Amino acid sequence: MTLTQLRKLKREGEKITCLTAYDASFAHLLEQANIDILLVGDSLGMVIQGHDSTLPVTVDDMIYHCQQVHRGCQQALLMVDMPFMSYATPNLALKSAARLMREGQAQVVKLEGGGWLIETVQLLTERGIPVCAHLGLTPQSVHQIGGYRVQGKTERGAERIRDDAVALQTAGASLLILECVPGDLAAEISALLDIPVIGIGAGAGCDGQVLVLYDILGITSGKRPSFSKDFLQETGSIPAAIEDFVKAVKEGTFPGQEHTFK
């Protein structure tokens, strides 16, 4: 899977599938289900390391897990989160991203944030580093935004996300993730942009869907996000749960209204 193929899927109206992965064994299972994108998420800070946020995760942590996932990844596009403060300045972002690609074997790096990242996105893409932008609920800014809350519910908030999405695409972003935004806004942005838009808690109008692997298997400690679904409960086996997620996204049956914010 390449960025060119993902853009083709968007043009043809075929939904894109993405799940997080943190090791070679799960990466292999995801490959068997023909997942389009494997995301080595900084969510590992919570589901693997046991922290209460993603903030303690380091670049070395991400490289370690990206190396493991790469060993089990033959077909999917391999994307990795840049952890908290690893891209605080454009030059630091370039250094961190270079390590994630050279040592971790990532193919795309993902950054959280809006307009302030434009110079960074331009620098990375000019240097041959593909970027996925991330708007809406940005977990690395959880303390600043006051918790894990839906973003873009007001007209002003929606306009800011919309404007940031266009600006980041113009700056060179190859993909966009929208997290926890109203479904109508996400659908509007997906139609507005040429690059694929992947939703998580952003409704069925996006070009694809991403979830945390441990959420779809029902093994995340604490309360599962309302926009997620326990596919293991319905299928009874891990491979079947992953395959069911892929099928549900491709056929447009997930997410449903019960997984969508208004």
Can you list the domains of the chain with their CATH numbers? 3-259 (3.20.20.60)
The whole-number pLDDT of residue 147 equals 64
The whole-number pLDDT of residue 262 equals 85
Sequence-distant (6+) residues with CB within 8 A of 123 are 90, 91, 93, 94
Which sign does the torsion angle of CA 183, 185, 191, 196 carry?
negative
- Long-range contact pairs involving 90-93 (C-beta distance under 8 Å, separation at least 24): 90/119, 90/120, 90/123, 91/123, 93/120, 93/123, 93/124
Q: What percent of the chain has pLDDT over 70?
A: 98
Identify the active-site residue in 12, 179, 188, 258: 179
Query: Active site includes 14?
Result: no
* pLDDT tens track for 154-165: 999 999 999 999
Point out the residues of the chain with pLDDT beneath 70. 143, 145-148
The whole-number pLDDT of residue 146 equals 62
* pLDDT tens track for 89-136: 999 999 999 999 999 999 999 999 999 999 999 999 999 999 999 999
Radius of gyration of the chain (CA): 17
The whole-number pLDDT of residue 142 equals 73
Distance CA 125, CA 120 (A): 9
Sequence-distant (6+) residues with CB within 8 A of 40 are 20, 21, 22, 62, 65, 66, 69, 78, 79, 80, 81, 104, 106
The whole-number pLDDT of residue 235 equals 92
